[in-house]
Structure 1
Amino acid sequence: MSRQALLAKIHIAKKDLSLDDDTYRAILGRFGVASSRDLTIAQMDLVLREFTGKGWQPKQTKSGRRPRPAASREALMGKIEALLADKARRQGLPVSWNYAHAVAKRVCKVDRLDFCDNVMLGKVIAALSYDQKRHPEVMSK
């Protein structure tokens, strides 16, 4: 997730939780910063987890639709769906199908997973698996 998107989520969570400015600044102060702009991406993730612990639930973004592949590709699509669910679990934030479409665009040079053949879907699975190995447990509970 981009830095700007994380900043936006922090400010949305602050508003949804109805945090006053002093409480919000106290939370940021625990991370050694006075402004959310000064947070690192890892610190932004921690702030969002703290907000989630306080009861904030991120609203579901438009997640894109799950592609409806031919029967021969259904198993590959199921594997992609499982990898997306695992990534969401590790991050503690929802991961949409649009993320998989973006991986397909970057790796296979097609706009959507719908346009991928079996070999291309294998490449998308490999990219998602590589990400899984690079970040085995982002969340610590």
Structure 2
Amino acid sequence: MNTRNLQLSKIHIAKKDLGLDDETYRSILGRVAGVRSAKDLNPRQIGHVLAEFARLGWTSTPAKQTGRKAPTPAPDREKLMGKVEAFLAEAKRSWAYADGMAMRMFKVERVEWLDPQQLHKMVAALTYDARRHGRTE
């Protein structure tokens, strides 16, 4: 989009933000720049119209930055696998039990293939199981 179109967009946004009806808007254009339509404005007149809208109380807000948020650091995978192993040993269960949990919870065949968030959920489930059976965490 070129500069002229961006400036004209600002004029129309200001009209909307200020709540101007069409007749009031056109009278401001006529008073400030001597035209009835924004398409007839030259660059200098566009500046004058924007300055008039600013005088009337309109402030331009910066465009929102789009994009993805920075990823949050994942918990240490090795640490989580160690916790899973400790819960299994304490409950005297095999890795096949944990693989079955991974399949039921996440539709993933092996615990080793879980991502850190899934591993965290598995540790939470094993913690709940330990409490339910009266084992320490």
TM-score (norm 1): 0.42
TM-score (norm 2): 0.43
| Higher RCO (C-alpha under 8 Å, 6+ residues apart) | 1
